[in-house]
Amino acid sequence: MADNFIHSIIDKDIESGKYGGEVYTRFPPEPNGYLHIGHAKSICLNFSTAKKYGGKCNLRYDDTNPIKEDEEYIKSIEEDVKWLGFQWDKRLWASDYFDTMYEGAVDLIKKGKAYACELTADETKEYRGTLICAGKESPYRNRPIEESLRLFEEMKDGKHPDGAMVLRAKIDMSSPNINMRDPVIYRISHATHHNTGDKWCIYPMYDYAHPIEDAIEGITHSICTLEFEDHRPLYEWVLNEIGWWNPQPQQIEFARLNLTNTIMSKRHLKKLVDDGFVDGWDDPRMPTIAGIRRRGYTPEAILDFGNRIGVAKANSKVDISLLEHCIREDLKAKVASRNVVEKPIKVIITNYPEDLVEYMEIENSREVPEMGTRLVPFSRELWIDGEDFQEIPQKKYFRMFPGNEVRFKGAYFITCNEVVKGDDGKIEALLCTYDPETKSGTGFEGRKVKGTIHWVDAKTAVPIKVRNYGYLMVENEDGEEGYNQDSYECIDAYAEPALAEAGAGDRFQFFRHGYYIADSKQYDENNRVFNRIVDLKSSWKK
Ligand code: ATP
Ligand code: MG
């Protein structure tokens, strides 16, 4: 069964025997930054398509621009692909095909299908025409083949400076598709390439290089994003005119992923890193795969998200709350709950014995009873969450306020009798009493209370730091997205002692607060920092 339009195309190709039943895809990143969640969609699509049909998928670095090699980017790309659970067939470099690309270009010139053009960049642009106006032929278009061959060789031999001339495909200056108006296929750039060094001072353009890369590798289905739809005739032209490969790969376009509250371009993300707006490519707020991983997302949640958004032929923007829904769904079945209180307020139970400690048995997960229980110490002095007390309660507030009785989850009914304040007016403690009859698990049915709150025993409380994150991008009053200057807070909190056993990378639900992960980079026994993966409430509607 085809589960998207790309698979329908593949099903037809398998039926017709076009590629002998084979499916070979590739993921072709330019190693100029870290991968983001948009790339994750492309990775899932390419690798799982190959997997579904028993085919293969290559990891191919698109390094046809003489960029500086950055080991950091290469390492991160490979780590990210593997983390998502995929393994490439071959790891390849587009620059390894420069010789073939050059031979192909010479072949095109010999066939009268390409020519050396000496128009300046501005002139070339002017001659190209517009959407409503046909282009004008270059005066160099009909120069003798021998002359173009000689000039192209001179370009290769470094006899001309950058920008002096280019090699152009000879197609059709009046084509309604501007990409077909004699596109540039080679340019001069006296730059050192990380792989080929100074061997080349001419470099192929993407539209010329990409089909050749695919053809050399025997790619059957070359999946790319929608912006390349208008480039497909050129993709096909290159393969048809050079004519060396049969069958030829076919380009198929799908809609790129756009997400609300998210910026998704390596160039912009790099700027955030370079400007110090975020703490590196793997800042937990970043939409990079590295950032999302450090934030605490699981590969399962990303794959689930990829499946739910599907593969479309038209661009759209996906609500980020769907991604959040996916991680909640994944974690709720996997992680244990712990009591953590933020902005803590001290509770003293005045009628509870001074030295008594009781160990309350509390379930680890409401959703998964198989996750068992743990023993949580309870004694005379406790911490409760700042959110769970209001001195003057607002309407419909059922948690703690003077005179009100609430359930301390897994323990007793407790009534707040008095608020003790310091000279500065700040609350120092709430003096409370408990009802020994109401112990949890004893079947007490005497009366009901409306509020249930969680708590942490003061003597054994573990101090932790909680990092809460907002979106990097938020909408302003005009409905436009801009950088959020307030996307991060780090607050002190207390946790029940069981949380002291956590190691870096461990995930928990903090009861009533959200899902958290012990930071993979900065967590240790003296600095227990937890990142909020996602809060508990879902704003996403099916
Ligand atoms: P960016 O503009 O973010 O730098 P890019 O397209 O230049 O992205 P590449 O490294 O060239 O990045 O892309 C590698 C592959 O990932 C390409 O096949 C590209 O189409 C795909 N890709 C990039 N962004 C998205 C996205 N938002 N959704 C789906 N696929 C994407
Ligand atoms: Mg790019």
Model confidence pLDDT, tens digit, residues 430-489: 999 999 999 999 999 999 999 999 999 999 999 999 999 999 999 888 888 889 989 999
Does residue 221 sit within a domain?
A: yes
Residue with the smallest CA separation from ligand 1 atom 25 is 38
Span 96-124, pLDDT tens digits: 999 999 999 999 999 999 999 999 999 99
Distance in Å, CA 533 to ligand 1 centroid: 25
How far apart CA 236 and CA 436 sit, in angstroms, is 81
Does residue 29 sit within a domain?
A: yes
Q: For a pocket test of ligand 1, which of 42, 45, 73, 219 has the largest count of ligand atoms closer than 8 A to its C-beta? A: 42
Query: Which ligand 1 atom sits closest to the C-alpha of 269?
Result: 3
The reply to whether 216 and 352 lie within a common domain is no
* pLDDT recorded at residue 542: 47
Domain span including residue 48: 5-254
The reply to whether 173 and 27 lie within a common domain is yes
Res. 540: pLDDT tops 60: no
Distance in Å, CA 30 to ligand 2 centroid: 6
* pLDDT recorded at residue 481: 84
Number of the ligand closest to the Cα of 37:
1
* pLDDT recorded at residue 405: 97
Query: Which ligand 1 atom sits closest to the C-alpha of 32?
Result: 10
Q: Which helix (H) or strand (E) holds 533?
A: strand 529-535
Number of the ligand closest to the Cα of 28:
1
Query: Which ligand 1 atom sits closest to the C-alpha of 29?
Result: 10
Residue with the smallest CA separation from ligand 1 atom 13 is 29
CATH of the domain at 22: 3.40.50.620
**Catalytic positions:** 30, 256, 266
Task: Calculate the alpha carbon distances from 481 to 56, 270, 276, 309, 405 in Å.
Answer: 39, 18, 20, 22, 45
Q: Which residues surround the ion ligand 2 when the cut-off is CB under 5 Å?
A: 30
Structure tokens at 474: 């938020």
The amino acid at residue 114 is: A
Distance in Å, CA 30 to ligand 1 centroid: 8
Task: Calculate the alpha carbon distances from 80 to 34, 59, 320 in Å.
Answer: 9, 12, 20
What is the number of other CB atoms lying within 10 angstroms of the CB of residue 448?
8
CATH of the domain at 376: 2.40.240.10
Structure tokens at 422: 């310091």
Res. 292: pLDDT tops 50: yes
Residues with CB under 6 A from ligand 1: 28-30, 38-39, 41-42, 62, 224-225, 256-257, 264-266
* pLDDT recorded at residue 69: 67
How far apart CA 197 and CA 61 sit, in angstroms, is 16
Listed residues 254, 277, 299: the one ending a domain: 254
The reply to whether 23 and 161 lie within a common domain is yes
* Contact yes or no for 432/440 (Cβ under 8 A): no
Backbone angles phi, psi at 414, to 5 degrees: -135, 135
Res. 343: pLDDT tops 90: yes
Listed residues 229, 254, 279: the one ending a domain: 254
N- to C-terminal Cα separation, the chain = 25
* Contact yes or no for 169/108 (Cβ under 8 A): yes
Res. 128: pLDDT tops 70: yes
Distance in Å, CA 56 to ligand 2 centroid: 23
The reply to whether 79 and 207 lie within a common domain is yes
The reply to whether 247 and 356 lie within a common domain is no
The amino acid at residue 28 is: P
Query: Which ligand 1 atom sits closest to the C-alpha of 41?
Result: 29
Q: What is the CA radius of gyration of the chain?
A: 31
Number of the ligand closest to the Cα of 46:
1
Residue with the smallest CA separation from ligand 1 atom 2 is 265
Does residue 482 sit within a domain?
A: no
The reply to whether 73 and 167 lie within a common domain is yes
The reply to whether 347 and 247 lie within a common domain is no
Q: What is the total count of domains within the chain? A: 2
Residue with the smallest CA separation from ligand 1 atom 18 is 224
The reply to whether 118 and 14 lie within a common domain is yes
Q: For a pocket test of ligand 1, which of 26, 36, 39, 221 has the largest count of ligand atoms closer than 8 A to its C-beta? A: 39
Does residue 418 sit within a domain?
A: yes
Structure tokens at 138: 């270059």
* Contact yes or no for 281/76 (Cβ under 8 A): yes
Does residue 488 sit within a domain?
A: no
The reply to whether 203 and 89 lie within a common domain is yes
Span 378-392, pLDDT tens digits: 999 999 999 999 999
Predicted structure pTM score: 0.94
Sign of CA dihedral 209, 192, 78, 271: negative
Q: Which helix (H) or strand (E) holds 187?
A: strand 184-188
Res. 508: pLDDT tops 50: yes
Average pLDDT, rounded, for the chain: 95
Span 137-188, pLDDT tens digits: 999 999 999 999 999 999 999 999 999 999 999 999 999 999 999 999 999 9
Distance in Å, CA 121 to ligand 2 centroid: 22
Task: Please report where in the chains the tokens 């071959």 appear, as a residue.
Answer: 90
Residue with the smallest CA separation from ligand 1 atom 9 is 29
Does residue 129 sit within a domain?
A: yes
The reply to whether 235 and 375 lie within a common domain is no
The reply to whether 362 and 243 lie within a common domain is no
The reply to whether 244 and 344 lie within a common domain is no
Does residue 471 sit within a domain?
A: no
Does residue 473 sit within a domain?
A: no
Listed residues 254, 274, 295: the one ending a domain: 254
Tell me the HSE value of 517 on the side-chain side, using a 13 A CA sphere: 22
